[in-house]
Every structure is written in structure tokens, then in C-alpha cells.
Structure 1
Amino acid sequence: MLDIRQLSVAFWGIKAIDDLSATLDAPVVGLIGPNGAGKTTLVNLLSGLVPAASGQVLLDGQALLPLSPRQRVRHGLRRSFQTEQVVEDLSVWNNLRAMLDHVPHERASANAELATALEFTGLSELATRLGSELNLFQRRMVEIAKALLGQPRLLLFDEPGAGLTEQEARHLRRAICAIPEHFGAQVLLIDHDVDLIQATCTQTLVLDFGKRLALGPTAQVLQDPAVRRAYLGA
């Protein structure tokens, strides 16, 4: 569970996140809002890439903000970026293997853990293929497979569905929905694709100008008139 309490982030005196409080307790939570709403700033703060001006963030009861980015990773926080972090001259297997150097794992079961992540993401047959030979969808799944290593608690996925075909998006949706059951981790999903949010997220947080505009069951949130005006253009 992610508990955000009176959180603010400021850049040059301008609040990108403004006194945000939200308890995110669903297995898969959506994070949406118009461009400039503060979504990426929030994910960067959770990752430790930007500091908070004030407030608290608790992950399963553990204060997150005092931890360094490395400590947050070891505590179970994972994220993907809009630009995939795939090493071109390493195989898919070795891209994942390199991730194990940064997350807690049992050395004796490392190969089994890699194999599990590859099977879950449908990449087993591509294990020996170089990163440079992967298409966009395969690169996205490598990012998800990397995030599943080392007993994750919270996965932050930043627009994983952008640019995918409908068939690829369906595969992605199935994978995201299955993560909490198979790996025991919560997912926070940022995406502009409302269909993806509807299909995967039981709870959704909407930001607008750094403030909480809405939080609740996804279907209810997406029907909120204020959300439709700010985000859906209705």
C-alpha cells in the first residue's frame, strides 16, 4: 500500500505537486491527468530522483522519502521509463541478469528467478536475442521482466502502452493484471490510454496542476464531470 500525506514538490518556487494526500491500496492503481499535471514528477519523487518540499510517503508502512534511490530499490520499488533502458549489445537474458546486481536475490536460485520473469512476460524464446534486435513491444516486456526481479513491492510503469498495437496492448494488459497475484507487488500505472486504465486499474488517482482532482474506483472516477473536463476534454 502506498500512503501519500500532504506531499509537495516545488521547482523554482512553483509547486509541481501541491499538498497531495492519497491512500493507494488497490493491486493496480491508475495515475492519470492532463499534460503538466504532475504525474511524472510524482513518479520521479517516489523513485528518489527529485526531493520533496514537504510531506510523507509510506510504502507498506515504511517511510520512503528518507531512503536513497538505491535503498528504495532494495526495499522493493521498481520503475520503467518512457524510453526503454535496454542494453543493445546484451542478450535479453543478460539484460535481466544485470538487473540482479542491484536487487535482493538468492544467488542459488538466480537462474530460476530469471526464467520465471521471462516466462511470465512471454520472452523465454527470445532469451538469447540481443537488445538491438528487439521490436518496441519486446523491449517494453524486457522492462517489465526486469521490474519483476528481486521481490518487488511497488512497480511504477510510465506509459508502457504507448505505441503498441491492439494485440500487443491486450498482452500487456493481461501481464499487468496478473502481476499482483503472481509476484505480490502493487502496480502504479501512468498512461494516457483510457482503455488500458479501465482494463487494468480498480482504483485511479487523477492529478491536475499538481493537486488531487479525484481518487476512487476507476469507473466512477472516469465518469466524474470534473475529470472529464480536465482530462477527457468533455
Structure 2
Amino acid sequence: MIRIDNLVVQFGGARPINELSAVLTAPVAGLIGPNGAGKTTLLNVLSGFVRPIQGTVSLGDQALLPMTPLQRVRAGLRRSFQTEQVVEDLTVAGNIAAIADHVVGPRHRPGAVDEALAFVGLATVADRLGHSLNLYQRRLVELAKCVVGKSKLILLDEPAAGLTEEEGKMLRELVLRIPMEFGAQVLIIDHDVELIRSMCSETMVLDYGELLALGPTHSVLADLNVRRAYLGEF
């Protein structure tokens, strides 16, 4: 569960997040909003890359804001980026092991890496270098890095962008398995409304840093204010 209370982020005179309060409890939740709504800023706050001037954020019973980014990773927070962060001269297994080094002990690292590789279906290419992977395989490496160790919250930023329809479908099926198989909550940012509709039982909508809507995805996407602000309908 993610709990956000009275969160304010300020850059000069602008407030990309303005007195935001929300509780997200769904196993797979969505985060949408028009460009400039504050979505990426919120992910950066959760990840520890941006420090708010006000408010609190907790993951379960753990307060996130006092933690460094590395401490958050060790506490179970994982994140993917719009541009995948695959180290080109490391193997697939090496990329995953680099995260595992921070979250599991040396004795458990091989098992944790093997489990993540098996989950995403990359065990047969574990020894290939990052630079030789296609886009879909790179996205799978990112997903494996997110589930390695004992993850609790996984933040996915446009995970299916650039993939074919079939690749996107396979990736979505993997993401939907995460809560049951790894016990982690997933928060997805995406501009693809149909992807959000198909994956997320709960969705939060931001507009100029403020909460516009939060609730069951089908109700949120049918909300007139959401359709006006995000979908451009009048």
C-alpha cells in the first residue's frame, strides 16, 4: 500500500505536486494524466530523486522520505525508466546481479538471479551481453531487475512503449503475475489508456500536480472531468 499525505514539490515558483493526498491499495495500480500533470515528479519523489518541501509518503508501515534512494531499494522499492537502463557490457545475468548485490546476501544472490531470469524467460540468454539484446529483451531485463530480491513496490514508467502488439501483450501478462508470485504492488505510468484499462484495477489521475480522480479504473476513465482533462473530450 502506498500512502501519500499532503505532498508538495516546489521548483522555484512552480508546484508540480501540490498538496497531494492519496492511498493506493490495488495490486496493480495506474497513474495517468496530461503532460505536465506531475506523474514523473511523483515517481521521482517515490524513488528518492526529488525531495518534497512538505508531506509524507509511506510504503506499508515504512516512511519513505527519510530514506536515501539505495535504502529504498533495499526496503523493496524498484523502478524502471522510459529509456531502459541496461548496462551494455554486462551479461543479462550480470545486469540482474548488479541489483541483487544490494538486496540479497552473496549466498542468496545466484538463486535470486536465477528466479528473476526464469520469471521473464531469459534464462537461455543469461550469458549474452546487453548490447546484443533487442528492445523487448531489454525490457525483460528491466522487469527482472525489478523483481529480483524481495520487492514490495515496483514503479513502471511506460513499460510497453515501442513494443509490438504481441510483445506488449506478453509483457502485460508478466506484470500481472507479479503481485501473486512476488508479493509486490505495481504502479504503472502510461499514456496508453487501453493498457491501463486492461491491467490496473485502480487508477489515479493527476492534473497540474493535484488529484483529479482516484478509484476503480473503469469508473475513473468514465469520469467526465477525467475525459476532459486527459482524453480531450468535451
Q: TM-score under structure 2 normalisation?
A: 0.97
Rounded Cα–Cα distance in structure 1 between residues aligned with 2:216 and 2:125 = 37
Amino acid at match of 1:5: D
Amino acid at match of 1:101: D
**Match for residue 41 of structure 1?**
41
Please state whether the residue corresponding to 1:164 is helix, strand or coil. coil
Please state whether the residue corresponding to 2:93 is helix, strand or coil. helix
**Match for residue 57 of structure 2?**
57
Deviation, structure 1 residue 89:
1.0
Q: Is 2:168 the counterpart of 1:169?
A: yes
Q: Is 2:39 the counterpart of 1:26?
A: no
Rounded Cα–Cα distance in structure 1 between residues aligned with 2:198 and 2:119 = 19
Q: Is 2:82 the counterpart of 1:82?
A: yes
Rounded Cα–Cα distance in structure 2 between residues aligned with 1:53 and 1:192 = 28
- Cα distance per residue 1:140-169 (max 9 Å; x no partner): 110010011120110011111111110001
Deviation, structure 1 residue 68:
1.1
The 4+ residue runs of structure 1 with deviation greater than 3 A are none
**Match for residue 189 of structure 1?**
188
Please state whether the residue corresponding to 1:96 is helix, strand or coil. helix
**Match for residue 10 of structure 1?**
10
Which structure 1 residue ranges, 5 or more long, are not aligned? none
- Cα distance per residue 1:72-102 (max 9 Å; x no partner): 1111111011111101111101111111122
CA contact (8 A) 2:28 2:188 kept: yes
Amino acid at match of 1:195: E
**Match for residue 224 of structure 2?**
225
Rounded Cα–Cα distance in structure 2 between residues aligned with 1:114 and 1:72 = 20
**Match for residue 73 of structure 1?**
73
CA contact (8 A) 1:4 1:57 kept: yes
- Cα distance per residue 1:46-77 (max 9 Å; x no partner): 11101111011011011111111111111111
**Match for residue 132 of structure 1?**
131
Amino acid at match of 1:46: L
Please state whether the residue corresponding to 1:114 is helix, strand or coil. helix
CA contact (8 A) 1:180 1:186 kept: yes
Amino acid at match of 1:34: P
